[in-house]
Structure formats: structure tokens, C-alpha cells
């Protein structure tokens, strides 16, 4: 059975370079590259330090909620959504998942991190997947990285869509000294994408009812990606995996790097032997099916951020950037 694993941020640049056996350890700018933006006038700082019980207060005041797709469009379930385990995803599962292409300073291009489509012109990923790296474009609608079109049985998907990135917004309070205080970034697409059965955004937590369900101890999350498997190679077919929530107090005992200040920005999940996210999955989605107002949708709850160096280790849960306390900044940024 496949196990998906995730990336230690400090190793990201080295891993990207090793993919192509290059010697360079940095990435240079290009006319096709995104500009990393961290100025306050472009990325407003979050003024309020949200707690779980008042996250909704800041979110509901934003007119930019109207920029987000409604629940008749985002996070729709597919027929295969309830299959459990680390295995191949169906063609139309996790249609929000994007592969991120980087430009190296030797001119080569490689895919490394992942991201989640949240509107027709924004992809959400991890900050550590964007800082000091040159992002060229994202690929949407992929399933098997070795074939085109992708077919599962007699059903084939539409061709993948590649879209250039024009701007990168880094969460302003993110820093290498406290990785877990907002490890997210927004990638602005050069042009809006058309939604289909294979390219579709995931919903974001914007209502009080949804926010209250974002991180309970009984939560079951799902993640997906093309990261390393137990055979120490990347999967060419999109994989999916269910992960159980881990209480933050237990998680902090296992991952002492979580500080008092960053604890509210972190979701812990996994820790079962052989089930984890790993190299190549960084920036991808930690998603949860939530039912509200008689509708069940997929919601983006976290972003793959950090994990123990030996992926899939017993008792070592993965760490994910929690979306809810960062929604204020996300909503500010998508209306710029």
C-alpha cells in the first residue's frame, strides 16, 4: 500500500535541485518567474491574533467573501470520495490540487510542491514553497504525470492546464524562526481558469458553523499528492490518504518545536506507522468533508507544512498550517 509523505521545509531547495542532479542551491529570477511580495502595502498584516472561539468575527466582515466560489461550485464530492486508505485517487478526486513548477538557475524546470485552487485565479500553498524560490507556473487537472490524456478504465479526463504565476504573496508574519506561524502563500494566476469535473476549487472555512468543525479531536482529514511512496520514489499517479486528527497537547510533546504562540496556527494529523505525507507533497491540502445546511463539501483545513525526517514514523504526527486563523489575510489578499 502506498504511503504519502511530506517535506521538511529546510530541505526543499536541496530536493528541488537533486531532482535534476544540478549543483546549484539557489534559484534566480526570470521573466516568467513570480515576484515574491512581502511588503505590508501589498500583503496587509493580520491585526488581530485570533483564537478558536472568535475566528468568525474577523472573517464575516470581509466583502471579499464574495470572491470565493459558493458551495454549489467548490469542494464537490465525487463518487469515489468515501474509499478509505492510501491508494490511487480517482480521476475526478481532489480536483483542486495543483502541481507547482519551479525554474532553476541553470534553466531547468522541475515540479516540487503542491497547492490548492481556491478561486479561479488563486492557488494556496505553503510559504516555505515560495520564499526565495522562482515559481514559473502551476499545472491543474493532472492525475497521471506520465500520460496525456489521463484515463482510468474507459473514462479519460480533460487535458491538463498550465497557468503562469504573476504574483506571489507570502503571509507577512511567516518567518524561518517560527515556521508554524502562518506557513502559507498565495499564487496569483495570470488568467482565470475554467472549472470542470477535473479542475475545481476547494471550499474555505468562512462561516461559524464550519469553523467550529475545523479541528476537533475526532476529525478525519484527507490529503493527496504525488510525493514519495514506501518504495522511495515519487508516484506518477495522484495518491490519497486519510489521517486522524491528533490533539495539539500530545502533538507538542512529540514535536517540541511548536511554541505557545504558534500552537493556534497548527493542526496535527497522522502519526500512524506507514501513513504520512512526504517529499513532494509540501504545500498540498489537508481537507475535511463537512456537512452544513444539508450540504456536504470538501473544505481546506490545513496546508502540508512540516514532518519528522523519517516519514511515516509511528508516533510522529505531521504538522499542517491551520487555515482558519489565516482567513483574514487570505480574504484581504485576494481582493488586491
The whole-angstrom separation of Cα 279 and Cα 308 is 11
Residue of 55, 92, 183, 281 marked catalytic:
183
- Paired with 5 in beta bridges are none
Give me the pLDDT at residue 4, please.
37
Q: Does residue 53 have an active-site annotation?
A: no
Top-confidence residue, 209 or 29: 209
Q: What is the DSSP letter of 97?
A: E
Q: Are strands 266-269 and 318-322 parallel, antiparallel or unpaired?
A: antiparallel
Residue 226 has pLDDT above 50, yes or no: yes
Q: Is there a domain that residue 4 lies in? A: no
Q: What is the dihedral of CA 291, 189, 80, 318, to 10 degrees?
A: -70
Band (pLDDT 50/70/90 cuts) for residue 329 is: very high
Least confident of 32-36, 118-122, 267-271, 325-329: 32-36
Domain range for 221 is 9-333
Which range of 43-57, 117-131, 249-263, 275-289 scores highest in mean pLDDT? It is 117-131
304 occurs within a structural domain: yes
Q: What is the pLDDT of residue 63?
A: 67
pLDDT band, very low/low/confident/very high, at 13 (cuts 50, 70, 90): very low
**Mean pLDDT, residues 159-187 taken together:** 88
Residues in a beta bridge with 188? 122, 167
Looking at 75-79, 118-122, 183-187, which range is the least confident one?
75-79
Identify the pLDDT of residue 23.
31
Q: Are 105 and 33 in contact (CB under 8 A)?
A: no
Q: Which of 92, 116, 128, 235 is catalytic?
A: 128
Instruction: Note the pLDDT of residue 59.
Output: 67
**Is 243 contained in some domain?**
yes
Residue 144 domain flag: yes
By the 8 A CB rule, do 311 and 228 touch? yes
**Percent share of the chain, pLDDT over 90:** 38
Contact of 184 with 171, CB cutoff 8 Å: yes
pLDDT at 56: 53
CA 164 to each of CA 35, 114, 169, 326: distance values in angstroms, whole numbers, following the listed order = 12, 15, 15, 25
pLDDT for 72 beyond 80: yes
Does any domain span residue 1?
A: no
Mean pLDDT of the chain: 76
Give the C-alpha separation, 185 to 27, whole Å: 18
Q: What is the rounded CA–CA span in Å between residue 292 and residue 227?
A: 32
Q: What is the pLDDT of residue 75?
A: 94
| Structural domain contains residue 132 | yes
Residue 282 among the catalytic residues:
yes
Task: Report the pLDDT value the prediction gives residue 44, as an integer from 0 to 100.
Answer: 33
**128 carries an active-site annotation:** yes
314 is a domain residue: yes
Residue 176 C-alpha cell reads as: 524561518
Q: What CATH number should be reported for the domain holding residue 174?
A: 2.40.10.10
The answer on pLDDT for 170 being more than 70 is yes
Q: What is the pLDDT of residue 231?
A: 42
Q: What span, in angstroms and rounded, lies between the C-alpha atoms of 235 and 315?
A: 24
Q: Is residue 85 part of a domain?
A: yes
Q: How many domains in the chain?
A: 1
The active-site residue, picked from 282, 285, 305, 313, is 282
CA 169 vs CA 160, 187, 330, 332: distances in Å: 25, 7, 10, 11
pLDDT at 85: 39
More confident residue, 160 or 78: 160
Does residue 125 register a pLDDT over 50? yes
Average pLDDT over residues 190-197: 96
204 pLDDT above the threshold of 90: yes
Q: Of 143-152, 167-176, 248-257, where does mean pLDDT reach its minimum?
A: 248-257
| Integer angstrom CA distances of residue 329 from 42, 136, 171, 290 | 11, 24, 7, 23
List b or e across 40-67, with b for residues whose CB sees 16 or more CB atoms inside 10 angstroms. Answer: eeebeebeeebeeeebbebbeebeebee
Amino acid at each position: 500500500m502506498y504511503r504519502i509523505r511530506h517535506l521538511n521545509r529546510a530541505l526543499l531547495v536541496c530536493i528541488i535541485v537533486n531532482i535534476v542532479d544540478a549543483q546549484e542551491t539557489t534559484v534566480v529570477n526570470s521573466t516568467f518567474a513570480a515576484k515574491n511580495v512581502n511588503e505590508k502595502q501589498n500583503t496587509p498584516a493580520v491585526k488581530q491574533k485570533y483564537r478558536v472561539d472568535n475566528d468568525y468575527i474577523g472573517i464575516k466582515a470581509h466583502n471579499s467573501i464574495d470572491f470565493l466560489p459558493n458551495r454549489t461550485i467548490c469542494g464537490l464530492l465525487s463518487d469515489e470520495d468515501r474509499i478509505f486508505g492510501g491508494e490511487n485517487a480517482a480521476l475526478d478526486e481532489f480536483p483542486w490540487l495543483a502541481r507547482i513548477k519551479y525554474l532553476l538557475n541553470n534553466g531547468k524546470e522541475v515540479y516540487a510542491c503542491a497547492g490548492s485552487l481556491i478561486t479561479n485565479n488563486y492557488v494556496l500553498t505553503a510559504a516555505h514553497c515560495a520564499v526565495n524560490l522562482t515559481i514559473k507556473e502551476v499545472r491543474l487537472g493532472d492525475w497521471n504525470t506520465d500520460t496525456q490524456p489521463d484515463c482510468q478504465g474507459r473514462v479519460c479526463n480533460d487535458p491538463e492546464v498550465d497557468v503562469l504565476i504573476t504574483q506571489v504573496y507570502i503571509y507577512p508574519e511567516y518567518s524561518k524562526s517560527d515556521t508554524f506561524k502562518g506557513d502559507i502563500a498565495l499564487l496569483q494566476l495570470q488568467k482565470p481558469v475554467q472549472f470542470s469535473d477535473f479542475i475545481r476549487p476547494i471550499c474555505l472555512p468562512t462561516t461559524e458553523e464550519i469553523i467550529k468543525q475545523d479541528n476537533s479531536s475526532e476529525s478525519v482529514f484527507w490529503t493527496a499528492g504525488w510525493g514519495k511512496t514506501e518504495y522511495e520514489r515519487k508516484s506518477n499517479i495522484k495518491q490519497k490518504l486519510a489521517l486522524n486528527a491528533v490533539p495539539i497537547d500530545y502533538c507538542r510533546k512529540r514535536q517540541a518545536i511548536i511554541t505557545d504562540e504558534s500552537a493556534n496556527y497548527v493542526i496535527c494529523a497522522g502519526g500512524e506507522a506507514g501513513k504520512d505525507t512526504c517529499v513532494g507533497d509540501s504545500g498540498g491540502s489537508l481537507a475535511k468533508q463537512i456537512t452544513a445546511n444539508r450540504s456536504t463539501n470538501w473544505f481546506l483545513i490545513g496546508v502540508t507544512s512540516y514532518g519528522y525526517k523519517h516519514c511515516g514514523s509511528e508516533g510522529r504526527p505531521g504538522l499542517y498550517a491551520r487555515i482558519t486563523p489565516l482567513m483574514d489575510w487570505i480574504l484581504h489578499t485576494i481582493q488586491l
